[in-house]
Amino acid sequence: MNKRGLGKGIGSLISDYTFDDVVQSTAAGHPVHEVHIDLLDANPDQPRKDFDDTSLQELADSISRQGVLQPVLVEKQGERYQVIAGERRLRAARRAGLQTIPVIVRTYSDAQKLEVALIENLQRENLNPIEEAKAFRYLMDKARLSQEELATQIGKRRSTVANSLRLLNLPDSMQEALKTLAISSGHARALLSVVNPSEREVLFQRILDRGLSVREAEEFASQFNAGSRAGTHPHPVKKQRRKSAEIQHLEERFLEVLGTKVAIKGDLKQGKIEISYYSLDDLERIFELISPEKKFINEL
Domains located in the chain, CATH noted: 10-126 (3.90.1530.30), 242-300 (no CATH)
Task: Using DSSP bridges, classify how beta strands 262-266 and 100-105 pair: parallel, antiparallel or unpaired.
Answer: unpaired
In whole angstroms, what separates CA 177 from the centre of its chain? 15
In whole angstroms, give the CA distance from residue 234 to residue 237: 9
Q: Which of 58, 87, 115, 125 is catalytic?
A: 87
The verdict on whether 87 is a catalytic residue reads yes
In whole angstroms, give the CA distance from residue 235 to residue 252: 20
Q: What is the pLDDT along the chain (300 residues), one digit of tens a residue?
A: 444 444 344 444 444 444 344 444 433 557 888 999 999 988 776 656 667 777 788 888 888 888 887 888 888 888 899 888 788 888 899 999 999 999 988 877 766 666 666 666 565 556 688 888 887 887 787 767 788 887 776 667 888 888 889 899 999 999 999 988 899 988 998 999 888 888 999 999 999 999 999 889 988 988 888 776 545 554 444 444 567 778 877 887 787 778 777 888 888 888 889 888 767 777 877 887 787 666 655 555
| Three-state secondary structure call for residue 264 | strand
Given a contact cutoff of 8 angstroms between Cβ atoms, the answer to whether 79 and 90 are in contact is no
In whole angstroms, give the CA distance from residue 63 to residue 57: 10
Task: Using DSSP bridges, classify how beta strands 271-275 and 100-105 pair: parallel, antiparallel or unpaired.
Answer: unpaired
